[in-house]
Amino acid sequence: MSSSLSTELPCAILDLLILYLICLVRVTSTLVPNPREDITYATISEFLRLHDEPLRQFIQMPQPKLRWNHTSTRDRREEIPDFGLINMSLLAPHIRLRAGIEAKRLLPIMKNLPTPLSQEGNMEVINLLHAMYYQGEDQAKAAVRSEYVSDNVPIPWLLFIGPYWTPVLYGPFTPQELSVRVHKHHPSADFQDSVNAMNKLLGKPQVRPLFLLGTIAARNRLEQFIQETDVLAQPLVEAAGEYTEL
């Protein structure tokens, strides 16, 4: 094993152990009466920071407001993911969304941090992820409508339940799909599109793979997730680097 690898491996394991301990501490906080989702935000943020290599590949933006109709000052509809991974552009719109994150508080059945595999088939988990999927889809649609992301590429999202998470992709959306929200219905949408959206929400939930923060599998999967978003974001990263060097 090379000297660089021998030093990197212990550091990586130490990062994972620290993150796992953070998860354990925050699990107890999420089970108090009337817990808040943002209890786990710091853990998620630290998880993402460990993957920001080289430094400043992306910016974490807490709760970005994605307007449903950004050209109308009278339309107050908006979608707010818990996090946005963004890059800045010198050209308008200056914010470009790389990925989004939607998070919910830990479920009581997860209090001892059981294995992800043991949670994937749990109906409470499956149903919550089903609802979160369409909440995230509405957020992704709002990002497209706000021109923060291209309308012709898949949009990556992360769905968190406490320290458990799964990656999903949204889009590309048709004009009809972009006209209606599934999780938050609005009466101005075409009737048939609204019916189709409701059928999705009431449809059979999908079993999704889960990853647990602080594990090797979660580390590797997020690294893959970030790398998959690098292709479109790299020109923005390079442009920002040239600008800061001026």
Q: Quickly count: other Cβ atoms within 10 Å of residue 149's Cβ.
A: 28
Q: Which of 50-54, 57-61, 200-204: highest mean pLDDT?
A: 57-61
Residue 55 tokens read as: 């430094």
Mean pLDDT across the stretch 194-219?
83
The yes-or-no verdict on residue 99 having pLDDT over 50 is yes
Mean pLDDT across the stretch 210-226?
89
Contact criterion met (CB below 8 Å) for 134 and 123: no
Query: pLDDT by residue (tens digit) across 137-169?
Result: 999 999 999 999 988 889 999 999 988 999 999
Q: Where are the domains of the chain?
A: 35-64+77-240
The yes-or-no verdict on residue 25 having pLDDT over 80 is no
100 beta partners: 84, 157
What end-to-end distance do the CA atoms of the chain give, in Å?
Answer: 40
Q: Which of 9-13, 165-169, 180-184: highest mean pLDDT?
A: 165-169
Q: Which of 71-75, 143-147, 175-179: highest mean pLDDT?
A: 143-147
Q: What is the mean pLDDT of the chain?
A: 80
Rounded (5°) CA angle 50-163-212: 80
Beta strands 95-104 and 155-161 are: parallel
Q: Give 13-18 contacts, CB < 8 A, sequence gap 24+.
A: 15/50, 16/214, 16/215, 16/216, 16/219, 17/214
SS3 at position 174:
coil
The mean-pLDDT minimum among 88-92, 117-121, 181-185, 209-213 falls in 181-185
Give CA 91 to chain center in angstroms: 25
**pLDDT for the residue 221:** 94
**pLDDT for the residue 200:** 74
Q: Bigger pLDDT: 2 or 199?
A: 199
Contact criterion met (CB below 8 Å) for 89 and 134: no
State the DSSP H helix or E strand holding residue 85, giving kind and residue range, or none if neither.
strand 83-88
Beta strands 78-79 and 66-67 are: antiparallel
pLDDT interval class at 134 (50, 70, 90) = very high
The mean-pLDDT minimum among 2-11, 79-88, 176-185, 235-244 falls in 2-11
- How far from 43 is each of 65, 179, 195, 221, CA to CA, in Å? 22, 35, 38, 17
pLDDT interval class at 213 (50, 70, 90) = confident
Q: Bigger pLDDT: 54 or 109?
A: 109
Instruction: Name the percent of the chain lying above pLDDT 90.
Output: 37
The yes-or-no verdict on residue 40 having pLDDT over 60 is yes
- How far from 195 is each of 83, 140, 187, 189, CA to CA, in Å? 30, 20, 11, 10
